[in-house]
Structure 1
Amino acid sequence: MKKLAGAILVAIVFWFVMFSQWTSPHINFWYVMLAAAGTLTALSFLFRKDWKAEFSFNIKDVALGVGSAIVLWGVFYLGNATSGMLFDFAHPQVSDVYAMKDGQSKLFLALALLFWIGPAEEIFWRGYVQRSLSESKLGSMKAYIITTLIYAFVHIWAFNFMLFMAAFICGAFWGFIYMKNRNLLTVLISHAIWDVAVFILFPIS
């Protein structure tokens, strides 16, 4: 558990650097995100060796990954419309999130999200953190809840309520699928496709 706690601490530090008002103006968000993705993936594979069973390829699970990405995009589309009617700060905060891609190549971002960042986040958060916690005395449900809360918490440094809620919803969504399906490939596909859809192809704001 010490290795797990250490890896989570590394993630917290990376997310602090990327999102906090004290550090984010001085770095390129996407370069740090790429570094974070690589580092956390490396730690995941270093601290656990049993990964083969996590990547089971079959058409059903691939379809679930694609379909769940579409469903989650729909949830965010409706959520954006609803939150805009309820909270004056909603749309400006969502716009702040999208501003992070300003000045970047859409092709670069799409490739990074699809093949590096999205997959890496699932390998770490679901494949390493949630799986390790579920194999402890906590069990699968408590592991799911704790992982979801930590995943949301690391985004708190941005002081952006909409980003925090987005992370919470995504963490709960992918964590639940992983808990029930136990195929990391499914959530990896879902996360990667959703990232590209919501940030590049079909932005909701």
Structure 2
Amino acid sequence: MVKTIRNWKFLLGYLIAHLLLYFTFDHTNVFWYILTGSSFFLISYSIMNEEVDDKIPVGQYLLYGILSGLLLYGLFWLGNAIINGLNLSYFENQVQSLYKHFSPDLIWHYIVLVLVIIPAEEFFWRGFIQKRFLANTNFWTSILASAILYASVYIFSGYPILIVAALISGIVWGILYAWKRSLPLVVMSHLTFDLMIFLFLPLI
């Protein structure tokens, strides 16, 4: 792991991700514009520095991606139901505020979410960050380390529940990537999850 962390391309990429997400969350009035630009930069950085992994047939990554995305959504639905059932108003308010400030509500938001933002997150955090951990650490270390780094950029959102959500989803997508080494698989899983949570069955 030390070898990975000391690599200058790894450190530079991680630093850039933090700077970009800081500016993104610091300008909520133009959130979607900055997030789109940030995503273009991160996906370009990852593609320039790592080959794109696509180790399984289309049918498999569609099946595993959709199923895992639905299961992850089910986990979040259950967590939200527990929060509501226990009347944990602090977390209820955080979920409602997240939807209010960051949920896509225009057609172009959904277009860039599907075509740019979701692929960029997976290409960078799994296809670049986790892939570098996989080269120098074991299966589980790569998953946990990359998920923690993925969650760390969400400190700038100001929502602890979003950091926890990123950590959980980062672990799930990290397992999928380490298991099958397919970026289309994790992109499909992420896409399924986001469409469920934002479009088909929002949690509020």
| Alignment TM-score, normalising by the size of structure 2 | 0.89
How far apart, in 2, do the equivalents of 1:195 and 1:2 lie? 32
Unaligned 5+ segments in structure 1 are: none
**Structure 1 residue 60 corresponds to structure 2 residue 60:** yes
Q: Secondary structure at the match of 1:89?
A: helix
- Alpha carbon RMSD of aligned pairs, Å? 1.8
Partner of 2:98: 97
Partner of 1:117: 117
* Letter of the 2:67 counterpart: G
Partner of 1:2: 8
Q: Secondary structure at the match of 1:16?
A: helix
Contact map agreement 1:115 1:192 (CA 8 A) in 2: no
Displaced runs of 4 or more, over 4 A: none
Partner of 1:73: 73
* Letter of the 1:79 counterpart: G
Contact map agreement 2:54 2:183 (CA 8 A) in 1: yes
Matches within 5 A, 1:178-193: 178-193=177-192
Change in CA separation of 1:74 and 1:10 when aligned onto 2, cut-off 3 Å: same
* Letter of the 2:163 counterpart: F
Residue 55 of structure 1, CA deviation = 5.6
Query: What is the total number of aligned residue pairs between the two structures?
Result: 197
* Letter of the 1:175 counterpart: G
Q: Secondary structure at the match of 1:204?
A: coil
* Letter of the 2:20 counterpart: F
Q: Deviations over 1:131-166 (max 9, x none)?
A: 011102x23322211110011111012221211111
How far apart, in 1, do the equivalents of 2:174 and 2:14 lie? 16
Q: Deviations over 1:33-62 (max 9, x none)?
A: 1111100011011122x22x4364331221
* Letter of the 2:141 counterpart: K
Q: Deviations over 1:10-55 (max 9, x none)?
A: 1111111222xxx234x5111111111100011011122x22x436
Contact map agreement 1:18 1:24 (CA 8 A) in 2: yes
Partner of 2:47: 45
Residue 101 of structure 1, CA deviation = 4.3
* Letter of the 1:174 counterpart: W
- Identical residues among aligned pairs (%): 26
How far apart, in 1, do the equivalents of 2:180 and 2:58 lie? 12
